[in-house]
Chains A and B, each alone.
Chain A
Amino acid sequence: MGKGNTTEKASGTWSRLRWARRVTQSVFLLLFLFLILATTALTGAGIDAATSGSVPYPVEAFLDIDPLIGLIVALSTGTVPGALIFGLVVLGSAAFLGRGFCGWICPMGTMNHAVGQIRQPRQGKARIDRNSPRPYNKIKYVILAGVLVAALFGSAIGGLFDPISLATRGVSLTLLPWLNWIIGGAINLFAESNVPALQHISDVTYDAVDGVVVYQRGFLVGSGALISVLFIVVLAANRWIPRFWCRSLCPLGALLGVSGRFGALALHKDHDLCNQCGKCQLDCSGAAAPRPGDRWLRAECDLCMNCVTVCDQGALSFRLAGEKSDEQSLPDLKRRTVIAGAVIGAVAIPAMRTGALGSVEGRPDPARIRPPGAVDEKAFIERCIRCGQCMKICPNNALHPALDEAGIEGLWTPVLVPATGYCEPTCTLCSQVCPTGAIRRVTEDQKIGKNGARMVSIGTAFFDRGRCLPWAMGTPCTVCEEFCPTSPKAIWMKEEEVEVLGRRVKLKVPYLDPSQCNGCGACEYVCPVHDKAAIRVTCAGESRSMTNQLLLGKPARKKEQS
């Protein structure tokens, strides 16, 4: 107090900057949430057929500007697909501002920040202690080394740890099912009330949120609960140590921290003015040791502006060209620590590929049905960062995060589960939102093989004649044939005599032409044998694979039954 006008003026500047940081954080978090809600098809009264297949906003923008994702894919494939080049903007900003991205923009950081900072459980010394540097904050560098070496070994598994990917996946699978449950439940409750006013409310609400947070086809996600639980654990950890994820585990934070080595902004500490009150560490969001006397940890500071704002002695300020003596510009890493991470990454990838079923080098698991446009499995694993965008935008609830279908290495990569949803015949949405080119753009023509386009097939359907109503029970049924979207249909009916309970019954029975089947799974989804359908799709014959094939060339269709 009473340090004169200059100090007050200066602290006003810092306070304004802190408010700017808070506003920026909120804006980017809201933008992030908006883009998650906007990850949906363009449908409605004002939309015509031609534009309905497109995605209205660049919903994958946050993933595009994530330099860790760009670096992973660049290392694993030797290419920088699509818009990932924009990661250079954030990486470039780190050269000047260090981890400013973490403190000001990253939506995962903002969520962590909010959970940790709002109504903090500790005060005074205990809080200062929580915001002090910890030895385990170096784990993130080990993770970064592991993730990058894994990428070099041909695996984008680092996406499991990427914060934008984590936030996209976590919010999609935590917030959305909850909203679907609450709002959808209220709509049903009101609709059943028999009170016209309430029914009207439920109709209006439904029309406003349908396809955004309320889903006609439900919100069932295989292994989704696991993703949600881990996301909540990451958030809850902030009550123990604020921004625990950002400080200790985040590989993007580590990357930006290291990249900020020659950052232009530095924390200037005036030892003469400091009275060692410790206030600067009360809310230090990066545990970057702002107190004069300690060495400022440049790679941990996310420029939250809390320390300079609360210092009433005017001892702290951010300036261009800081005094090098007072900071530690690179993390104090033992070489062996980084090597340990690299070795983990290098050993883990080959080890995970020893899996006999579903792994890149093993036989495909029959349930490893990839979305149409997915590149060959090896290239797919090089690219898929498990962000979950494809699963979020799938209008039929068909794509789900894999648990073991793609081997351990393929955890949470997308697989199509026909029993919960089938691949909509003309939909190409998942291929439009994939930020890394794991799912290549496909066209409507390719999906059903029309206008001369070679059909993209994701698998083949097989009849289980012991469960099929016409085959096993002599009961007429044609639902699979009715829903088969290809033309001519891959499923066709032929009148035959079937023996049922010792009688011979004449009726139409279904057959499958594998050369026409695109593996969409509509037949399995609609089969009236509800628990385990009488026709099921496996990934056999998927057109992306050279090895997972059935047929040599295309056999001529034997006959067209009309």
Chain B
Amino acid sequence: MNDSWNRRRFLNRVAAGCVGIAGATATGMLLRDEGRDEPLSEPKTVQVRNFRAHMGDSGEKLVIANGDPSSATRAAIGALGGMERFVQPGESVVIKPNIGWDRTPVQAANTNPLVISALVKLCLDAGAATVIVTDHSCNESRRCFTRSGIWKEASNAGAVVVLPAGHRFRTHDLGGVVLGRMPVLTAAVRADRFINVPVAKHHGMSGFTGAMKNLYGVLGGRRNRLHQRLDDSIADLADFIRPTLTVMDATRVLMRNGPQGGNLGDVKSVNQVIASTDQVAVDAYGCGLIGLKPTDLPYLAFAHERGLGTADLSRIPREEVS
């Protein structure tokens, strides 16, 4: 009896079959690839991250602080009017050191960890809700973060140290002359304030690496192609991210064999920390520390022309403190 067909059962089957076929067709239509090219470019929205602080009546200035890493950092920020001027209570702050290499602090290939911890404390004292310390290392990042001493010092000072994991990058349109769509470390660009904390050192290709070149660390993907137009790339980056503040560690300076170093004979104790809201001026000063002139570095001229800051040190007031 169960096996026998009747009209009702037949119609039910037919109806179910029709629904199935209709569903499959609808799914197929939804997923259909008509073989057309992807749209060549999405609506071009250049996502410039302008964190730059305005110095108001006191104007831009370049502060050069002498002393050990911690006290020089505090003196430099003090001379710019204190961290309260840049960080409002409740804000999130990203501190972007150079944690590029598997090197220890004495080798001066990474930012000195004590400069970082001093800045973390200053930001927290100014009322920052969170302070994130992050970078996209060149060598294996866990080793770089650990051996640079930054993971430990920054964490102890109260910062959140963020590793450059793959899932933390998103594609942004940098809208530059050579840099278009690139993966960007989201933790670095989603904060309210961005403090760039490079280390001053020699670089085989660009001559000198400091503030603007340090912004490479927010990029992911295949950064090794950028060297083909390095100066344009650096200027593009400085155009894309305009830091609230730039604090350059020049306590120990790698004079040769940069950017990685390794030989203590190549390191010179300079015992300076340079701070300004003008990242171009910081580099213009910094390259002098390894015996170069601002005119030796094409990327300074490019950045100057784009109005990102001044490469002419005579045009920015300088203040030395200790």
**Residues A479 and B146 in contact in the complex (CB < 8 Å), given A48-B152, A530-B222:** no
Residues in A with CB closer than 8 Å to B266 are 487
- Determine how close the nearest CB of chain A comes to the CB of B37; give it in whole angstroms: 24
Cβ contacts A465-492/B at 8 Å (1 or 0 each): 0000100000111110111111111000
Q: Is A134 an interface residue (CB 8 A)?
A: no
* 3 residue pairs, one from A and one from B, having the closest CB atoms: A191-B167, A487-B263, A45-B155
Known contacts A45-B161, A202-B167; A562 and B140 CB within 8 A of each other? no
Contact of B205 among A52, A427, A486, A508 (CB under 8 A): A508
In chain B, what residue has the closest Cβ to A478?
B205
Q: Which A residues lie within 8 Å of B203 (CB)? A: 482
Q: Confirm or deny: B166 has a beta carbon within 8 angstroms of a beta carbon on chain A.
A: yes
Contact of A216 among B140, B155, B257 (CB under 8 A): B140
Residues of A bordering B, CB below 8 Å:
41-49, 52, 187-188, 190-192, 202-203, 206-207, 210-211, 216-217, 395-396, 424-427, 448, 450, 469, 475-479, 481-489, 493, 508, 526-528, 530, 562
Partner of B142 from the list A188, A210, A488 (CB cut-off 8 Å) is A210
Contact A476 B152 (CB under 8 A): no
Partner among B156, B204, B263 whose Cβ is within 8 Å of the Cβ of A482 = B204
Stretch of B14-22, B43-51, B223-231, B245-253 contacting A (4+ beta carbons < 8 Å): B223-231
Q: Are B140 and A482 interface neighbours, CB within 8 A?
A: no
Among A49, A395, A426, the residue within 8 A (CB) of B149 is A49
27 contacts between A and B (CB under 8 A): A45-B161, A47-B146, A48-B149, A49-B104, A49-B147, A52-B146, A52-B147, A190-B167, A191-B167, A203-B168, A211-B142, A216-B163, A395-B142, A425-B102, A426-B147, A476-B228, A478-B204, A478-B205, A481-B204, A481-B205, A482-B227, A483-B138, A487-B261, A489-B257, A527-B224, A530-B222, A562-B256
Residues of A within 8 A of B166 (CB): 188, 216
Interchain CB contact under 8 A, B105 and A479: no
Contact indicator B260/A475 (Cβ below 8 Å): no
| B70 contacts partner chain A, Cβ-Cβ < 8 Å | no
Partner of B139, one of A424, A476, A530: A424
Number of interface residues of B (CB under 8 A): 45
**Inter-chain contact B224/A526, CB cutoff 8 Å:** yes
A527 contacts across to B, CB distance below 8 A: 224
A448 CA to B139 CA, complexed, in Å: 15
> With A and B bound together, what is the CA distance between A210 and B225 in angstroms?
28
Instruction: List chain B residues, Cβ under 8 A from A43.
Output: 142-143, 145-146, 151
Q: In whole angstroms, what is the CA distance A190 to B161 when docked?
A: 20
CB 8 Å contact bits of B50-91 with A (1 = contact, 0 = none): 000000000000000000000000000000000000000000
List 9 other contacts, CB 8 Å, given A44-B146, A483-B138: A45-B152, A45-B161, A188-B167, A202-B167, A210-B165, A216-B163, A424-B140, A424-B143, A478-B205
Q: What residues on A are CB-neighbors of B224 within 8 Å?
A: 479, 526-528
Within 8 A of A (CB), among B204-263: 204-205, 222, 224-225, 227-230, 256-257, 259-263
Residue from B102, B105, B145, B263 within 8 A of A424 (CB atoms)? B102
Interface centre among A46, A478, A486, A508 (most CB of B within 10 A): A478
The distance from the CB of B260 to the nearest CB of chain A, in whole angstroms, is 6
Q: Is the CB of A187 within 8 A of B145?
A: no
Query: Judging by beta carbons under 8 Å apart, are B140 and A49 in contact?
Result: no
Q: How far is the CB of B57 from chain A (nearest CB, A)?
A: 39
Chain B residues within an 8 Å CB radius of A202: 167
A41 to B147 Cα, complex, angstroms: 12
Give B residues with C-beta under 8 Å from A: 102-105, 138-143, 145-149, 151-152, 155-156, 161-168, 203-205, 222, 224-225, 227-230, 256-257, 259-263, 266
Give chain B nearest CB distance to A487 CB in angstroms. Answer: 4
Whether B161 lies near A487 (C-beta < 8 A) is: no
Which residues of chain B come closer than 8 Å to A203, judged between CB atoms?
A: 162, 168
- B167's closest neighbor in chain A, by CB? A191
Question: Are A206 and B161 closer than 8 Å at their CB atoms?
Answer: no
A481 to B257, CA, bound (A): 9
The residue in chain B whose Cβ has the minimal distance to the Cβ of A191 is B167
* Cα of A307 to Cα of B270 in the assembled complex, Å: 78
Q: From the candidates B143, B148, B262, name the one contacting A427 in the complex (CB within 8 A).
A: B143
Give the CA-CA distance A191 to B185 in the complex, in Å.
12
A475 engages B228 (CB within 8 Å):
yes
- Contact A49/B204 with A478-B227, A528-B224 known, Cβ cut-off 8 Å: no
Contact B259 A46 (CB under 8 A): no
A216-B152 CB under 8 A given contacts A476-B205, A478-B227: no
By a CB distance below 8 angstroms, the chain A residues around B205 are: 476, 478, 481-482, 493, 508
> Cβ of A487 and Cβ of B257 under 8 Å apart?
yes
Q: With A476-B205, A476-B228, A477-B227 as given contacts, are A206 and B165 in contact (CB-CB < 8 Å)?
A: yes
Smallest Cβ-Cβ distance to A476: which chain B residue: B228
- With contacts A424-B143, A425-B262, A486-B262 taken as known, whether A47 is within 8 angstroms of B165 at the C-beta atoms is no
* Contact A396:B146 (CB < 8 A) given known A482-B204, A482-B205: no
